[in-house]
Homo-oligomer: A and B are copies of this chain.
């Protein structure tokens, strides 16, 4: 009956698309759904396409790009650059307090949804006379799985 719990945010996106007078095609629905499922994987367009094709082999890569473009313009998706030459995508949280921790050893991307930068923004506004609208913070390091437990010392 009526949708699993994880369908909530995808339903919101479908509704937003209806509101925007763009067509709610099967491809778009599928792409949004997969994107919601891989939320933590930060897939590239190509990776997303590969997963989408497992469910509908007829979806073209161009459609994936076009859909991601559309979603990004509507602020429903945001991009992430990890420095490997391809753009990675994730559903936008709405919050701008959304940071990434990139493990240099296993490549895992963790997220921190927390306002860590309020004070920093204030500093920048005063220091440089720069009004901050948005920010992007990436931290490179070693995640807890890769860090050998050094309880001693």
Contacts and interface: CB of A to CB of B under 8 A. Distances in A.
Interface residues of A, number: 36
A54 interface: no
A49 B141 CA distance: 33
Number of copies: 2
Given A81-B81, A112-B124, A132 B141 contact: yes
In the A-B complex, the 6 residue pairs with the smallest Cβ-Cβ separation, listed nearest first, are A129-B144, A132-B141, A133-B141, A134-B140, A135-B139, A131-B142
A139 to B, nearest CB: 4
Interface stretch (A2-10, A26-34, A115-123): A115-123
Nearest to A147: B131
Contacts of A139: 121, 124, 130, 132, 134-136
Interface in A70-99: 79, 81, 83, 99
Contact of A130 (B114, B124, B132, B142): B142
Interface in A100-153: 101, 103-104, 110, 112, 114, 116-117, 119-121, 123-124, 127-144, 147
